[in-house]
Structure 1
Amino acid sequence: MKKLIKNGIIVTATDEYEADVLIEDGKVTSIGAYLTEDIDEVIDAKGAYLFPGGVDPHTHLDMPFGGTVTADDFETGTIAAAYGGTTTVIDFCLTNKGEPLRNAVSHWHEKSKDKAVIDYSFHLMIGEVNDAVLSELPSIIEEEGITSFKVFMAYKNVFQVDDSVLFRTLLTAKEHGALVMVHAENGDVIDHLVTEALDKGNIDPIHHALTRPPELEGEATGRAVELTGLADSQLYVVHVTSAAALEKITEARRKGYNVWGETCPQYLVLDQSNLEEPNFEGAKYVCSPPLREKWNQDVLWNALKNGQLQTLGSDQCSFNFKGQKDLGKGDFTKIPNGCPIIEDRFSLFFSEGVKKGRISINQFVDMVSTQPAKLFGLFPQKGTIAVGSDADIVIFDPNRERTLSVDTHHMNVDYNPFEGMKVTGEPISVLSRGEFVIRDKQFVGSPGEGNYLKRKRFNSTKKVTEKSLS
């Protein structure tokens, strides 16, 4: 079946122009003016932008944490993502020490089977490095197409690893063509500060932030990037929140290290004061790393504009306020960490970034779609509108005004961290591999239509250059 999208303005990471887009068998087959081939369906996108579908490199769907499980699974989470203009997610597959990695991968396939409405892939957590792990990794990379590993430097006695595991993971990634992702906070010192806070009776949500200060994010980031340089490997720092961490990434890139950085919408528009909201409402904003003092927002926006940070993930990790977040009443350490972000990532970044002149429209596309696709082995199948690419296309009204709210979102969670925020710009229709998932703001897809994506190996010959720093 052939579809033709007419009268839209195509926007990629490098270009902006008016053209028609011809779609056949899930692919873009032609881009031009006045295309007249036999068409089964014509879609008029007059007045709308045509963006490549968003690639969200950082989600936690159906994930166990702190004695509970995230409220959004692969069905509700990917439906919400599609409403928000995202057509590909890469979720984190958690592993257990002493168990084969293959078991964890199989478990994540079970979680996602017949549920996802858009395409998806997995990152793989590395919690230990030994002969068994090292023997499994090559086949997982080759057979599963999982070409990114996640290492935690925080969550002591749960996910945290020592520097030896991080360094050996970096060496293994270099050898086999994978990208290492790191949650950079000093978990040992955090553990000490948390114990000290609880001993003093400091139990409210604000102490989540006060026991995880930005200095500990900066220190861990610096340690991770120097180990990357020593290993001559490659590193992606997830959810950068502060000037302290950004300084270490910028310095590493100036040295030519293969280091990239991601931030998330919550760190661009929310701040530490949200954790002080009364009646335990501050628990809604407990995520790790925590929200920072407001002045960090300008630092992060400038870093996105200047190329010091390269991508925008959601760090989607939704827990209901009632029945999940409130597990931490009387002890902030028991509040499940995470926020529902997946649906609003795209529109919020356009509204706060492009509409307010903080970034260009091409930078917007680059950070929400193209760069994640390139870094994680999906480009040019994903991340752009080009002949031969998957027809993942967002028909986007740049002038539609609306208010973000739990009453109108599609995430399976009882609050919205951006409640009452007015945004400009909204996805109207979303196509995944040429088929509508959202049409005229209505869900028309089906669970199970999303494909699991095997990703290409990281290009280990790619180096950070002076040009990439500009």
Structure 2
Amino acid sequence: MDFDLVIKNGLIATASDVISGQDIGVRDGKIACIGFGLPTTSSTQIIDAEGGFITPGGVDSHVHLEQWNTPTGDTWITGSRSALCGGTTTVIAFASQNKHHESVLPIVDDYAALAKGRSSCDYALHLIMTNPTPKIVNEELPFLVKEHGITSVKLYMTYDPMKLRDREILDIMVATRRLGMTTMIHAENHDMIELIIETLEARGQTDPYYHAVSRPQLAEAEATYRAIALSEMMDTPILLVHVSSETAAKHIRDAQTRLLPIYGETCPQYLYLLSERLKGENFEGAKCVCSPPLREKPADLDSMWTSIANGTFTTFSSDHAASKFGVEGGKRLGLINGRPYFKKIPNGLPGLETRLPLLYKGVQEGRITIHDYVRVSASNPAKLYGLHTKGAIQPGLDADFIIWYPEGKMEPFELTNAMLHHDIDYSPFEGMTFTNWPRYTILRGQTVWSRDGEGFMAKQDQGRYVKRGTSALGGPRNVFVNEWRPPV
């Protein structure tokens, strides 16, 4: 048996096991074999992992690239490059509907055209729905599932340009349940937030820090509970995205113990950053404005780690929605005539490249296991979103890998933004010390990142569009019911 690539001497990490002493053989971009002493020829590329972990290529299932509302953010070119350099081999980004759009098909076509030939990593698309007309829900969603393999939608419970009423969410859930789509929900109580914002503005409290004050944990917890109630009524699987608070996570876990198809996601900023970062001088706090906001206490961070370790969180994503800080149209939109207005600051942080190294730090520090890392960073996202050739190291799947340094092999370093490969002028994680980082990233059998060698090695058009199937993880409880019927 001839192989194009053989990876030797690594610890193959899965969501349940660590396999040592066996090689990985790759042929034609697929994992062909895992076994002892695989043969090689003069044409076989050999990578010696030297005892380091080999994990599946990362799947970042929540990424905003080149959207209309992030004009200073990363493009597909720069964002996909950054992804590979941080170990992510597949991203899922968002084609976003505006309220005035009467059809989502042109939106999907236009957004797909932005990515085609301009992504170095593999990619798939979600749909953000803000105007769910009957035609879109009943005719266009089935077309997107069948023809484009777009099997997930994202819904907002806040933001005036995007929020949906509960009835609109219910109507969408009827369709997504029937079609086997994954429904993603940004859960924050819009009216609570608006009241607090108006009160703060009346008091002149408009510095970036007050962004966190305006979006309390209670607003996230209430909307999370309400979203779960809507899901339970319709028996429709949902994923609560970028969960930041202990109470919201508890609502998710309570629903899961009742065997409801409720899933959760969190992000690196909720593991490492606190709201005090919003107090920086010279408007620097604007760099860390995101929604839900950074929380107040170290205990808030600990609760997010616990929710990864105990299985409450299904996925771990970057929610990369970056805006530059020092250019017109970026974060400084919130600085008007020299006065800060937190409501005007674009939401979102850069995090595509740092997502996996930050999660891996949790393994090194004993907060989570290597199995937890694989589960939330690759295996579960692939299952949840119908990426059936991704997310695991087993024969027949795409040969996507990260090879990490053996412990103690990499020289520790302090992160600077200049080390990263995105097109954003800051990172909220600058100054952190790392003792491991992806040594190699391999996409479908091709080495696309070599930290000790040539660095970024991928071609601009190397990424392929992945037409997704239905979720292998999420499903209604009553699997025998194909058409919606009123709950008893």
TM-score, normalised to structure 2's length?
Answer: 0.91
Correspondent of 1:453 among 466, 474, 484 = 466
Q: Matches of residues 359-378 of structure 1 in structure 2 within 5 Å?
A: 359-378=368-387
Give the superposition deviation at 1:244: 2.1
Q: Which amino acid aligns with 2:241?
A: V
Give the superposition deviation at 1:411: 1.2
**Secondary structure of the equivalent of 2:163?**
coil
Give the superposition deviation at 1:462: 6.3
Report the counterpart of residue 256 of structure 1 in structure 2: 259
Report the counterpart of residue 40 of structure 1 in structure 2: 44
Stretches of structure 2 lacking an aligned partner (at least 5 in a row): 479-488
What whole-Å deviation, never above 9, does each CA across 1:101-143 have from its counterpart, x for those lacking one? 1111011112112111010001111112222112111011111
**Secondary structure of the equivalent of 2:322?**
coil
Cα distance in 2 between the residues matched to 1:404 and 1:37: 38
**Secondary structure of the equivalent of 2:143?**
helix
Aligned 8 A contact 2:235 2:476 in 1? no
Matched pairs, number:
459
Cα distance in 2 between the residues matched to 1:458 and 1:12: 20
Q: Which amino acid aligns with 1:343?
A: E
Cα distance in 1 between the residues matched to 2:153 and 2:224: 16
Aligned 8 A contact 1:64 1:70 in 2? no
Aligned 8 A contact 1:190 1:212 in 2? yes
Correspondent of 1:201 among 184, 195, 204 = 204
Report the counterpart of residue 333 of structure 1 in structure 2: 343
Report the counterpart of residue 483 of structure 2 in structure 1: none
Report the counterpart of residue 115 of structure 1 in structure 2: 118
Give the superposition deviation at 1:196: 2.2
User: What value does the CA root-mean-square deviation take over the aligned residues?
Assistant: 1.5
Q: Matches of residues 127-206 of structure 1 in structure 2 within 5 Å?
A: 127-133=130-136, 134-156=138-160, 158-206=161-209
Aligned 8 A contact 2:264 2:314 in 1? yes
Give the superposition deviation at 1:73: 1.0
Give the superposition deviation at 1:165: 1.2
Q: Matches of residues 44-55 of structure 1 in structure 2 within 5 Å?
A: 44-55=48-59
Whether 1:88 aligns to 2:101 is: no
Cα distance in 1 between the residues matched to 2:65 and 2:19: 36
Give the superposition deviation at 1:193: 1.9
Where do 4+ consecutive residues of structure 1 move more than 4 Å?
459-464
Summarize the Cα distance change of 1:232–1:89 in structure 2 as closer, same or farther, 3 Å threshold: same
Q: Matches of residues 62-101 of structure 1 in structure 2 within 5 Å?
A: 62-65=66-69, 68-97=70-99, 98-101=101-104
Q: Which amino acid aligns with 2:395?
A: V
Summarize the Cα distance change of 1:463–1:87 in structure 2 as closer, same or farther, 3 Å threshold: farther
Give the superposition deviation at 1:458: 2.5
Q: Which amino acid aligns with 1:396?
A: W
Whether 1:306 aligns to 2:319 is: no
Aligned 8 A contact 1:63 1:70 in 2? no
Stretches of structure 1 lacking an aligned partner (at least 5 in a row): 465-470
Query: Which stretch shows the higher mean deviation, 225-234 or 104-113?
Result: 104-113
Give the superposition deviation at 1:192: 2.3
Report the counterpart of residue 347 of structure 1 in structure 2: 357
Give the superposition deviation at 1:70: 4.0
Cα distance in 2 between the residues matched to 1:140 and 1:461: 19
Aligned 8 A contact 2:158 2:190 in 1? yes
**Secondary structure of the equivalent of 1:64?**
coil
**Secondary structure of the equivalent of 2:313?**
coil
Give the superposition deviation at 1:398: 4.5
Summarize the Cα distance change of 1:350–1:463 in structure 2 as closer, same or farther, 3 Å threshold: farther
Report the counterpart of residue 2 of structure 1 in structure 2: 4
What whole-Å deviation, never above 9, does each CA across 1:285-333 have from its counterpart, x for those lacking one? 0001100112211111111111111211000011111121112122111
Give the superposition deviation at 1:433: 0.6
Cα distance in 2 between the residues matched to 1:279 and 1:130: 44
Give the superposition deviation at 1:172: 1.0
Report the counterpart of residue 276 of structure 2 in structure 1: 273
TM-score, normalised to structure 1's length?
Answer: 0.95
Q: Which amino acid aligns with 2:255?
A: A
Report the counterpart of residue 297 of structure 1 in structure 2: 301
Cα distance in 2 between the residues matched to 1:13 and 1:284: 34
Give the superposition deviation at 1:252: 1.3
Cα distance in 2 between the residues matched to 1:16 and 1:43: 19
Q: Matches of residues 204-215 of structure 1 in structure 2 within 5 Å?
A: 204-215=207-218
Q: Which amino acid aligns with 2:417?
A: V
